[in-house]
Amino acid sequence: MSKLRFNITMTLDGYVAGPNQSVENGLGEGGERMHDWVVPLKTFREIHGDEGGGETGTNDDVLRESFENIGATIMGRNMFGPDRGPWGDEPWKGWWGDTPPFHTPVFVLTHHAREPLVMKGGTTFFFVTDGIESALEQAKEAAGGKDVSLGGGASVAQQYLAAGLLNEMELHVVPLLLGGGERLLDNLGSGVKLEPLRTVEGPGVTHLKYRVVEKGASGTDGQRADPPKV
């Protein structure tokens, strides 16, 4: 069965982006350092179109696995770009240039309709305005039996976790504190049940992989606010 899989780099204090995200600083202040472990890797270079070179080893094996058997991608608009509200006359085309590193159909959750955007290298951005379940249905259809990758960010991941729609989550935990920004595992109460699948220790990062075995926001402070209108 096609699974929804999520992997993301998280600091030890739980952040997946630093404070004050902007066009110049898409991962927020201090956020770029989170990705020091991934940028030199062979697989990272390959998906970004840099053939040849790059590090192999444990971290590369984990990263490569995260792209295996992925047929479609879902992300929130906050991950797609820094702007908010209506798209305007010269709409944002993503952080990633002409050839984004997804190489699959990408379903972007937004409250503002927009025509699909065809990029090079197999990525087409589709803009989904009718919610996370619809996006997942469309993504599974597009994936043709393969798995769907949830790209992020934190808010969208929380929505899929709370709805019980996420099947696997791998956190690449880096030994940094950011002290502010977007915290991944907030707004979820105590209702999400996880089962450890494996731990892999790589240079400068620990990979913690879980199966999500039970859904749902619960507990005294588990009521999620409405998702932001972006």
The contact set with a second copy (CB under 8 A) reads: 12-14, 18-20, 29-30, 171, 173, 175-180, 183, 185-186, 188-192, 194-196, 198-199, 201, 204, 206, 208, 210, 219-222
Closest separation in Å from C-beta 33 to a second copy: 9
Q: How far is the CB of 198 from a second copy (least distance, A)?
A: 7
- Cβ pair 155, 227 in contact under 8 A: yes
Quote the distance between the C-alpha of residue 109 and its chain's center: 12
Closest approach, Cβ 178 to a second copy, in A, equals 5
How far is 112 from 151, CA to CA, in rounded Å? Answer: 19
- Measured from the CB atom, is 21 or 123 closer to a second copy? 21
* Residue nearer to a second copy on the CB measure, 148 or 205: 205
| Nearest CB to a second copy, comparing residues 46 and 182 | 182
Burial of 15 (0-12, 13-18, 19+ CB in 10 A): buried
Least distance in angstroms from the C-beta of 173 to a second copy = 7
Nearest CB to a second copy, comparing residues 116 and 204:
204
Residue 150 · residue 106 · CB < 8 Å: no
Choose between 134 and 190: whose C-beta lies nearer to a second copy: 190
**Please, what is the minimum distance in Å from the beta carbon of residue 30 to a second copy?**
5
DSSP structure class, residue 152: E
* Shorter beta-carbon distance to a second copy: residue 39 or 197: 197
Nearest to 112 by CA among 229, 227, 226, 225: 229
Compute the least distance from the CB of residue 56 to a second copy, in Å. Answer: 20
d(CA 208, CA 198): 6
For residues 202 and 62, the answer to whether their CB atoms sit within 8 Å is yes
| Sign of the four-CA dihedral 192, 217, 181, 47 | positive
Residue 86: CB atoms within 10 Å: 11
